Structures are given as structure tokens and as C-alpha cells.
Amino acid sequence: MDPAVQIPVCHQCGVDDFLIFESFTPAAGDTPAMANYTCSVCESFAGHFVPAGWLPPGQGK
Ligand SMILES: [Zn+2]
């Protein structure tokens, strides 16, 4: 898997329990889905590609 593709997790806290997703762009063609998120505990921000099939909590399913 492309190292730029990761499941969202706070790298400060090491968990995904406190993430607030600010944007999610579904996959399109060969471009993976992308998520931007902030951790509500330490306020660190991250944005990167996410694995196929991953959806923010509360979306899809
Ligand atoms: Zn955090």
C-alpha cells in the first residue's frame, strides 16, 4: 500500500477516538479518498489519503 495512504489516527495521542473530521473527499478514479481532521484533545491537524472503503464515523454504512 502507498505509505501516503493511512487510516486516520492522531499521531500525538496514538488513537482515533477524538478526531473531528473536517472534510472527506471520496475516491475518484485512481485517486484514493482523502480526509482532513483535527484531534479534539491535542488539536493537531492532519490530512492525507485514506484506504479504500474507509469512511468517517457516521457516514456510509
Ligand atoms: Zn491528539
d(CA 60, CA 54): 9
Rounded to a whole number, what is the distance in angstroms from the first to the last CA of the chain?
A: 24
Centre of ligand 1 to C-alpha 8, Å, is 11
pLDDT value at residue 59? 74
Give this prediction's pTM: 0.86
CA triple 24-41-19, angle to 5 deg? 20
Nearest Cα neighbor of 31 from 5, 61, 57 is: 5
Kindly give the distance from the C-alpha atom of residue 57 to the centroid of ligand 1, in angstroms, as a whole number: 17
Domain chopping of the chain, boundaries: 1-51
| Residue 28 pLDDT | 94
How confident is the model over 8-58, as pLDDT tens digits?
999 999 999 999 999 999 999 999 999 999 999 999 999 999 999 999 987
Determine the distance separating the centroid of ligand 1 and the alpha carbon of 13, expressed in angstroms: 4
Rounded distance from Cα 30 to ligand 1 centre (Å) = 30
39 CA → ligand 1 middle, Å: 5
